[in-house]
Amino acid sequence: MKNFIQKIAAATILLLFLAFVFFGIKKLQPPVVKTSEIEKTEVPKVLPPQEKSEVKSVEIVFNYNKQEYKYPDQPILEIKKSENNLVSSSVRKELVSSLLEKLPDLAQPKTFENEVKPFSKKSSAYEFVSRENENFLIDKEATAIAIEKAVSEEPSKSTFNVTPVVKSANPEIGFEAERLKRGFKTDLSLFSTSHPEHADDTGRNINLAIAAAKIDGLVLKPGEEFNFDKIVGPRIKKNGFRMAGVISQGRLIQGLGGGICQVSTTVYRAALLANLKITERHNHSIYEGIPYADRGLDSAISMGSKNLRFINSLSTPILMSCTSGNGTVHIAFYGTHKPFDKVEVRTEKEVSHPFPIKTTRNPKEARPGVTGYTIESYRVVTSGDKEITEKLGQDHYLMFPQVVTASN
């Protein structure tokens, strides 16, 4: 009996010891927090900054027939900002349309037409559709698109200079009527270029107008070759050409006929998009000074050394419409039908060649640096389920080092 009691006492002491150890360990452990409590104590999520919408007023300046029509404080731009950073922008189209209603709507001659000396196309080897005695009015729909594009691309600007797009005021008897009458009802390609920095350069604009007028209305028959030099003729004072900027030895200098490379470039782009066979084309020596052109897709002209030629390789005759304005050139190629579905032009493998900086003690030798480029261009033509990719060429734009005068 005595042994039994001793065993009971020993077991009780052991249980008490184990209980003491268990509760001691439990007390030392951190408290268990329920999942719901953890969620409540999480750091609150940082919300993205709120976007704010506001309307920006800009000034639209229309350059038309050597006159300026200024419309300040036009609330046509809606922008979204986040912490003062521009997120997006959009143009209020209804207000652009209302603005265009304020412009004069009278039929007027094309800009600079009166500056172009009269010339005859009757002695030309090409056939032409005449645009003589045709008046024009503003194409408000096309001009609205031009405004929207300009404002959307540079929403930070406060003033926009716009050259209105014009159309025939008497389409029933003018160029358009004759075009349709002859069966040129299909758009083969359309292309436009703009040089806003020279919109007010009268000499350059007259050069554009002369070159455009000599090309305008030309009918290129299947198998016939377009020759820019032969059609436009010598760029001399006798033919009405003026002094304007030309590229020479890596610099922009004044020369007769300056600016007509914008016409040849626009024609070249339209010829590419019409899937015509290019037989001669040259890029400019440098890319500086030709912002109207994409690298690898310009067409430089220099009488006797650089020409633009292409053959009408299609099964339809082509009618060329070529007009110009303040720093702008518009080209349209029309045919009786479209013997392809789609043409795309692209550039690849562009490499820039930065210019080094050199010093000289002769101030006359100082000059700005010009970055050089190498780039390839391609044309992709789709007809039905057939796609053909053509390499147009590889262009090299020269690099010229910057030369600065040494301080000592």
- Its pTM surpasses 0.75: no
Distance CA 315, CA 223 (A): 9
Indicate the DSSP class of residue 370. Answer: B
pLDDT score for 148: 85
pLDDT score for 117: 61
pLDDT score for 106: 47
Task: List Cβ neighbours of 37 (8 Å cut-off, separation of 6 or more).
Answer: none
Q: What type of residue sits at position 367?
A: R
pLDDT score for 113: 56
pLDDT score for 33: 54
Task: List Cβ neighbours of 393 (8 Å cut-off, separation of 6 or more).
Answer: 281, 376, 377
Three-state SS across 371-395?
Answer: CEEEEEEEEEEEECCEEEEEEEEEE
pLDDT score for 139: 83
Distance CA 176, CA 155 (A): 36
176 by Cβ neighbours in 10 Å (0-12 / 13-18 / 19+) ranks as middle
pLDDT score for 272: 97
Segments of the chain scoring below 50 in pLDDT: 106-110
Which residue in 63, 114, 65, 130 sits closest to 321, CA to CA?
A: 130
pLDDT score for 105: 58
Which residue in 283, 294, 275 sits closest to 389, CA to CA?
A: 275
